[in-house]
Amino acid sequence: MFKAESNSIKSIINKNWQQIHDEQPTDESVNLLGSEALIRSLMAEDVDIMFGYPGGAIMPTYDILHQFQKEIKHVLVRHEQGAVLAAQGYARASGRVGVCIATSGPGATNLITGIADAQIDSTPLVCITGQVHKDLLGTDAFQETDIIDISMPITKWNYKITEAKEIPAVIARAFFIAKSGRPGPVLIDITKNAQMDFLDYSYKKCLHFNSYLPEPTPKLQSIKDAAELINQAKKPLIVFGQGIILGEAEDEFKTFLEKSGIPAAATIMGLSAIDTNHENYVGMVGMHGNYAPNLLTNQCDVLIAIGMRFDDRVTGTLDTYAQQAKIIHLEIDNSEINKNVRVNVPVLGNVKYTLPQITDRIIEKEYSQWREEFRKLDKEEYQAVIKDDLTPTKQALTMSEVINMINDLTNNDAIIVTDVGQHQMATCRYAKYSQTRSLITSGGLGTMGFCIPAAMGAKLAKPERTVIGIVGDGGVQMNIQELGTIMQTQIDVKIIILNNEFLGMVRQWQELYFDKRYASTEITSPNYQMLASAYQIASSKIAKREELKKSLQTMLDTDGAYLLEVMVGQEDNVFPMISPGDSVSDMRLK
């Protein structure tokens, strides 16, 4: 959601705040401390786990939280950024609202990167921060920071609670806003006096409020127009994003695919919305996506964009993107319509409800000749790129063959969490998924340090599933302190460090566009095995191809956390690639 729209929502919500108090239920209430009201409100929203770090301004709430350890599990992270990223991993894996908590000042500001990440990737979070006593606001008191103004551009909503009586209604509204419509992060700042004062407490979940329409009402004419365009198409292409996952529309999408017969390509955030072995799936679009769907974007006659936002990494240069095509855009957020790419038929609404109405109106087809064009380009990509990536003749291991071996050993059934860089692109290109919510990555913000905390959150959300974190030697050192959280909480997460002794993606750009001037991209790592041992985590290190399968199997078979360091080629590049400023038609194989 854009700043203008986000601020509009804030003004709607904040206008006549007395309205919220009027919404308080008339059921029998109980006299409670504000801090206990906060914890009981979280319990009323079915919160069972939260990630955080205590401090002075939030201490009254932690004091009460200690009394509710059976109801809400608190995970003590080692840095507040770890808390918000872990909450993201939890939300992305479970589909529920992730919750994190921190103190005022630096505790609150340490959440900012993760909140910005959640905003651009539409992840539902409720972030709670402590604040100094209301009488000290604006005095530059110890650990006072105006987190409301700081976080305003990167939250879906935020609010400062200064009186205990506000707590139930604000928390109810926070959860409703975070998870409704296009999800996003909400920040609630609570002064210390509000936590320590008493209120007459009762709780009622928020289901709606005036002037806020999280899901636009679909227009029947748009649905009819979309179906008509699809029925007339000779070379249609679907590009789908995370909107399918957020809308829980995976079944509806599969039905649409199989009736339409249309080739479908994923954005990075859309990966795992359908089984990657589905016959209609033709790969990933974007800067390091697959050759066929990128090139044929500029040859299709109808482009059907479903739950995606036409990010610049998907479109390349806009003035050459799909100029020949009629474009249908299924989207829940009106601000995304015509933001980057002009569309012919906008279909507003949750795709879970709009897509079946289009499916009912389309003609069943096969597009066999059109799909053959994808297969021809797939063969070109295989010979030029994939063959060498997966069955290399060179001595050094490749990132891609590591990912491919993980597919084989997990039967495509693991949750894969990545950091940001070359390993992220290799994972997105080669990992396979058999069920939804199986790829968790920082898509829009590209946050290094994302992997370890997010993998922790994902495993705690889905303890029955294998969770594997794929991280580079650069990103792993940004939040490596969270190995302490893994140790203390005994989280059974598997971490693979793909170590090329470089900040690999930056180095690739330096090679291609800066005449191999590797400025500040060579990076030295600690002894990860000694470090893992210090955190009581099993580990090993390999550099030979013949060791790969056995080492991965050992990692998967080990009870508890495991850290595997794999040494890979130092100057390997990720291809294909769309160079900055180029069209999707100009994608280079080498």
| Single-letter amino acid code for the residue at 11 | S
Which DSSP string corresponds to 538-570?
EEEEE--GGGHHHHHHHHHHSSS-EEEEEEB-T
Output the 3-class SS for 47-85: CCEEEECCCHHHHHHHHHHHHHCCCCEEEECCCHHHHHH
How many CB atoms lie under 10 A from the CB of residue 335? Answer: 15
Cis peptide before 576 (omega within 30 of 0): yes
Burial of 90 (C-beta count, 10 Å sphere; 0-12/13-18/19+): buried
- Answer for the pair 9, 156: CB distance below 8 angstroms, yes or no: yes
Map tokens 């879906």 to a residue: 156
Q: What is the dihedral of CA 242, 245, 246, 247, to 10 degrees?
A: 120
Instruction: Give 511's DSSP letter.
Output: H
Q: Which sequence positions are flagged as catalytic?
A: 80, 142-143, 192, 505
Measuring CA to CA, which residue among 461, 466, 480, 335 is closest to residue 411? Answer: 466
The neighbouring-strand residues paired with 542 are 566
CA distance 545 to 404: 13
How many CB atoms lie under 10 A from the CB of residue 78? Answer: 18
Tokens in use for 556? 């998967």
- Answer for the pair 24, 179: CB distance below 8 angstroms, yes or no: no
CA distance 474 to 524: 9
